[in-house]
Structure 1
Amino acid sequence: MSVSRPRTLADLQRWRRTRARRSWYKRSFRLQVMLLVGLLLAGMLLAQGTYLNHRKAEIISQQMGERALAVAKTVASMPQIINAFAIPDPAFIIQPLAERIRHETGARYVVVGNARSIRYSHPVPERIGKPMVGGDNDQALIHGQFYVSEATGSLGTAIRGKAPIWDEEGNIIGLVSVGFMMDRVAMDVARHNSFGWALVALMITLGFAGAYWLSQHLKKVILGLEPYEIARLAMEKEAILQSIHEGILAVNREGHITLVNQQARRFLNLDDEHVLLGQPIREVVPNSRLLEVLRRGEQEFDQEMWLGDHPVVVNRVPILHEGEIEGAVATFRSRREIVDLSQALTQASRDVDMLRAQAHEFSNKLYTISGLLQLERIEEALALIHQETERAQAQMNFLMRNVADAVLSGTLLGKLTRARELGVALEIDEQSSLSCPLTPTGQEVMMGVVGNLLDNACHAALNGPSKEPNVRLFFTDLGEQLLIEVEDNGPGVPAQFAESIFQEGFSTKAGKHQGIGLALVARLCRQHGGAVTLEESELGGACFIAVLDRSICAQPDQQQSQQRYQHRSQQQFQSSTKNSDYDG
């Protein structure tokens, strides 16, 4: 069957209205609920009403039959009826008695017949003396039974009660047939069933009214949304929860987990198949503090904790509904990422400060040289130029000769410049050496370890008792590991802080965003097969010894490319004083 497509704007609008009329009942949740509940209730009531009315009709018919049989038994046992069979004209006695009984009982007829089924009584007197009609007299006349039958007689179809008549010697001399017409039975059944059907109709009406109210209530509960809208929102919510970078964990009022996203599973080191929903939060994350939030109903923001082996910053919020606490939600974000971001911002600020200081220093020296030249003190100007050149050249020659990695050389040269600006004498031990280049990961690790240790040492030396701050650096890759030693003449680290100094967030310095550098150094060392320890320095302050695995060094097939890179870097090494110090 072909479907014509709309050709004009009016046709398109008419087609859309037609489509809307065809599909509105599919989209209306309210109508769906009302029809579903109403039709279900109507079907149940109709089925029950049909059964009850049918059963009622059977009971009424049965009662009519039993009534007819009881009247027939009574008539058959009357002495006047039995004695009347002995006279020449039994109908003279039986007909008046039968009619009186018929009127008193409401039966349609009370017929008394002899053993040959000849009538002695009948509502129509002209039919007295004629045979009884229906063919259902044998059980009474032959077998002497009392029974109820349904047959069609001269007056129509009726429910009959049949009873045999015995004489004093026990012989069957006749029978009694009492009948109630079926149309009257049907009228009685209809009269009784009409009330039942009216009650069923009333209940169906009330059922649809209740279904309408229920649909209105459900529509209000689901905020007026349609089922397909709820499904779409649920899918969107699930996609958002699983894609965001923060871990989310939710519990109900009993403290059982109801929601956990992929990031939270990664924090807990659990695979996707691990079942968490429904488990008590106390068993999965004992330190989550969500149970305290459920008990007190108070919000907690930017709290630090460990989730698995991840340091995280957590926010905890109770779920309230009409003033009652229904559950709680905790969101986690990695503290390491926050620390890395803070480090990057701090490093950028330090780079700017260092470049500003270098620009200021060289500006002063250029002004000095300019003044000497204007005073025609050429020899002094040349001596100052040679002095600065020799010092910078000596530092670069040492780094080029003893450090095989150009990136680390640039970092150390930047730290030397920074220390000089701070007024700290930074010395690199003459025995220091790095004989092989570093991998890209190794460069990041070495810059983080060396940079943070030197920064802390310079800060400690500046705040120490000596008026001449001094820091010494030694590094070597001889053996199976890389060794870095950084010592200063600062105040040292108190013994009670020796174990805590490497914990994230712990610091002896005042101010915010402290306690990061040494914790980062310790983490980098652990991740690359080493460790960092604290000893007392020969200079009088602290000595930090960091050990790293040689896996961060380039393999032989990588060294050639590293050497080519270093050869190109050495040609540009004169401008490396612009490199910023790195703090990991």
Structure 2
Amino acid sequence: MVAVTSRRRTLAGQLLILQLAIILVVLVAVAAVSLAQSAATFNRVEGRRVAALGEQLAGNALLRDRLNRPAPGEAIAPLVQHTLTQSGVTSVTVADARGRVVSSTDPTLVGGQLVLGDPGVTRGRSWFGELELGRSRELVAQVPVLGAREENLGRHLGVVVIGEASPSWWQRLVGASSYLFTYLGIASALGVAGSWLLARRIKRQTLGLEPREIAGLAEHREALLHGIAEGVIALDPQHRVTLVNAVGRRLLDLPEHCLGRSLAELRINGRLRDVLAGAGGGATPDQVVVRGGRVLVMNRTTVTKDGRRLGSVTTLRDRTELARLEQELGSFRSTTELLRAQTHEFANQLHTISGLIQIGEHDEVVRYVDTLSRHRASLDLTITSRIHDTAVAALLMAKSAAAAERRVELRVSERTGLDRLPPEVAADVATVLGNLLDNAVEAVAGDAATGPAWVEVELRQDTASVEIVVRDSGPGVAPELATEVFTHGFTTKAAEGGERGIGLALTRLVCHRRAGEVAVTNTDEGAMFTARMSTFPTAPQGAR
């Protein structure tokens, strides 16, 4: 058995049929209105005419005289026929005072009882309307015949009936207007042509897709948008949100009803607005933005079709946890670099000792070893005497060795003082201090034009917070960037790339998580970063 499936009509075909049906309904309605107007005009005009003819015949002296005598039919028949011939009406009928038809142009009515449209006709009142007379329905006027002589003055003598046959609907339609069919034909042609053009235009705008295909695309799009783990947001050329999935709305902290609203209405400003709006022009891969306590990596692509710009699509990835893992890996990397730096330093010192032994300067070997021991002990004593938290002290020792390898002097301020901290607080302090030191060393390393390169650390503690101050001898930070370096993921490193700048962004996140803040200012000698954090074990989450 072969299953036969009926071919579905296309969207353009459905629209064309629908438009043609609408045009047909309009034409029928116009024809009905024309018929109603024609009927009203006929009743008004012909009603007045038959009424006038009836009054004229009822006032005829011969008719009045003969109706008052026996067998009046033969005498008034010529008068009735003459009235019919002269007026061109359909029928003329005369009845006596008892309502019996005595003369009529329709022989079938003679001798019968006259049907009155209004009983008031026998009391001297005229009436006109539609009645069934014989085998046809006519518009009739019934006029009473009243006596005029002294012996029958004002007495009801009979009734004169003048009838005009009502035209058929086809006759009324033809007679409604000599141009009606022309108007209807032109309207039909214009309607059909307009419907066909509309169907073609809609087919082009829908790219030839049928409704079921459009519905399928919409369902697939929704499934795709809400099925991927990344955030997606689309903007039109006026920077209004045209599409966003649930992940994108959550990462950007957008309200539920954000579609159709502009970036300004959604209060998206600063770095995030620049990336979404494409301030730099073209595609912007792997842009780091801080939003709502998260480190986001954004990729923006401009969408064009036939040379026309349709808007842009931006994907978002939450790199907060990955950035934290990178910082943890960075601590292991710092340890590796420290071991490498110490290996390099020890190798140089051993080479020096070996050379002194070979040339026989044994006393100089002893003095050299004593000098190295005193220098190491002095550095360890300086750090451990002022910083009692072992994690932070170890970090400073490692950073000092790494900085020395890059010919940067790491100083510890005399005002430094830090007690032992809870483990979670010490970890956050080490993260912030390490990021600030790395940025400061990178900023001053290799810059011999301003003299010896140095970085100074100052740690201060009170009952509720820890303050970290890192000064350097570098070129400083431009004033217009002082409030943007952390939100933009700004970096003082000369190299640029998608992986740069996350350290400062994480620094700000950690400070906010600890109910603190971080800022940068310029001094006479260089830049100064100041970070403050609460030491309470459960600090509230920071603001955005």
Aligned mate of 2:163, from 166, 179, 200: 179
Q: Give a deviation string over 1:517-540, Cα, whole Å, max 9, x none.
A: 778767755653366788989xx9
Write the mapping of 1:326-405 to structure 2, written as runs, cut at 5 A. none
Q: Determine the C-alpha separation between the residues in 1 that align with 2:208 and 2:332.
A: 52
Mapped contact 2:404–2:410 kept (Cα < 8 A): yes
Q: Determine the C-alpha separation between the residues in 1 that align with 2:377 and 2:139.
A: 134
Q: 1:281 aligned to 2:281?
A: no
Q: Determine the C-alpha separation between the residues in 2 that align with 1:108 and 1:438.
A: 118
The amino acid that maps onto 2:144 is: P
Q: Give a deviation string over 1:98-157, Cα, whole Å, max 9, x none.
A: 2233223333433345445666644478x89x6244443995884233223655556666
Q: 1:222 aligned to 2:206?
A: yes
Q: Give a deviation string over 1:425-449, Cα, whole Å, max 9, x none.
A: 5566899886546535642541331
Q: 1:94 aligned to 2:79?
A: no
Q: Determine the C-alpha separation between the residues in 2 that align with 1:81 and 1:444.
A: 127
The amino acid that maps onto 1:218 is: I
Taking a change above 3 Å as real, the CA distance of residues 521 and 498 of structure 1, as seen in their structure-2 partners, is: farther
Task: Calculate the TM-score normalised by the size of structure 1.
Answer: 0.59
- For structure 1, the residue ranges without an aligned partner over 5 or more in a row are 1-10, 555-584
Taking a change above 3 Å as real, the CA distance of residues 508 and 91 of structure 1, as seen in their structure-2 partners, is: closer
Q: 1:164 aligned to 2:144?
A: yes
Shift of 1:44: 4.9
* Percent identity of paired positions between Structure 1 and Structure 2: 22
Q: Determine the C-alpha separation between the residues in 2 that align with 1:121 and 1:156.
A: 18
Q: Determine the C-alpha separation between the residues in 2 that align with 1:260 and 1:333.
A: 11
The amino acid that maps onto 1:143 is: R
DSSP-derived class of the 2:197 partner: helix
Taking a change above 3 Å as real, the CA distance of residues 285 and 137 of structure 1, as seen in their structure-2 partners, is: closer
Q: Greater CA deviation, 195-204 or 35-44?
A: 195-204
Q: Determine the C-alpha separation between the residues in 1 that align with 2:384 and 2:264.
A: 59
Shift of 1:324: 9.7
Taking a change above 3 Å as real, the CA distance of residues 37 and 434 of structure 1, as seen in their structure-2 partners, is: same
Shift of 1:41: 4.7
Taking a change above 3 Å as real, the CA distance of residues 396 and 406 of structure 1, as seen in their structure-2 partners, is: farther
Q: Determine the C-alpha separation between the residues in 1 that align with 2:137 and 2:482.
A: 111
Mapped contact 1:141–1:172 kept (Cα < 8 A): no
Q: Determine the C-alpha separation between the residues in 2 that align with 1:214 and 1:461.
A: 71
Q: What do you get for the CA RMSD once the two structures are aligned?
A: 6.7
Q: 1:29 aligned to 2:11?
A: yes
Q: Greater CA deviation, 239-248 or 406-415?
A: 239-248
2:401 — aligned with what?
417
- For structure 2, the residue ranges without an aligned partner over 5 or more in a row are 540-544
Taking a change above 3 Å as real, the CA distance of residues 532 and 219 of structure 1, as seen in their structure-2 partners, is: closer
Shift of 1:248: 6.2
1:144 — aligned with what?
124
Task: Calculate the TM-score normalised by the size of structure 2.
Answer: 0.62
Q: Give a deviation string over 1:443-475, Cα, whole Å, max 9, x none.
A: 254133145336625864864689876666565
The amino acid that maps onto 1:145 is: R
DSSP-derived class of the 2:163 partner: strand
Q: 1:105 aligned to 2:90?
A: no
DSSP-derived class of the 1:551 partner: coil
Q: Give a deviation string over 1:43-83, Cα, whole Å, max 9, x none.
A: 45435544553554465456555544333322222344445
DSSP-derived class of the 1:419 partner: helix
Shift of 1:34: 3.7
DSSP-derived class of the 2:123 partner: coil
2:536 — aligned with what?
551
Mapped contact 2:407–2:445 kept (Cα < 8 A): no
Mapped contact 1:64–1:180 kept (Cα < 8 A): yes
Taking a change above 3 Å as real, the CA distance of residues 95 and 516 of structure 1, as seen in their structure-2 partners, is: closer
Taking a change above 3 Å as real, the CA distance of residues 325 and 146 of structure 1, as seen in their structure-2 partners, is: farther
DSSP-derived class of the 1:178 partner: strand
Mapped contact 1:535–1:542 kept (Cα < 8 A): yes
Q: Determine the C-alpha separation between the residues in 1 that align with 2:313 and 2:454.
A: 48
Write the mapping of 1:504-523 to structure 2, written as runs, cut at 5 A. 504=485, 511=494, 513=496
Shift of 1:499: 10
1:53 — aligned with what?
35
Q: Determine the C-alpha separation between the residues in 1 that align with 2:173 and 2:295.
A: 82
Q: Give a deviation string over 1:275-333, Cα, whole Å, max 9, x none.
A: 79568937946879999x99xx995887999999999999999999999999x779798
Q: Greater CA deviation, 300-309 or 522-531?
A: 300-309
Q: Determine the C-alpha separation between the residues in 2 that align with 1:336 and 1:91.
A: 115
Q: Determine the C-alpha separation between the residues in 2 that align with 1:431 and 1:414.
A: 21
Taking a change above 3 Å as real, the CA distance of residues 99 and 410 of structure 1, as seen in their structure-2 partners, is: same
Structure with greater helix percent: 1
DSSP-derived class of the 1:223 partner: coil
Q: Determine the C-alpha separation between the residues in 2 that align with 1:176 and 1:110.
A: 8
Q: Determine the C-alpha separation between the residues in 2 that align with 1:233 and 1:466.
A: 63
State the number of aligned residues: 516
The amino acid that maps onto 1:504 is: V
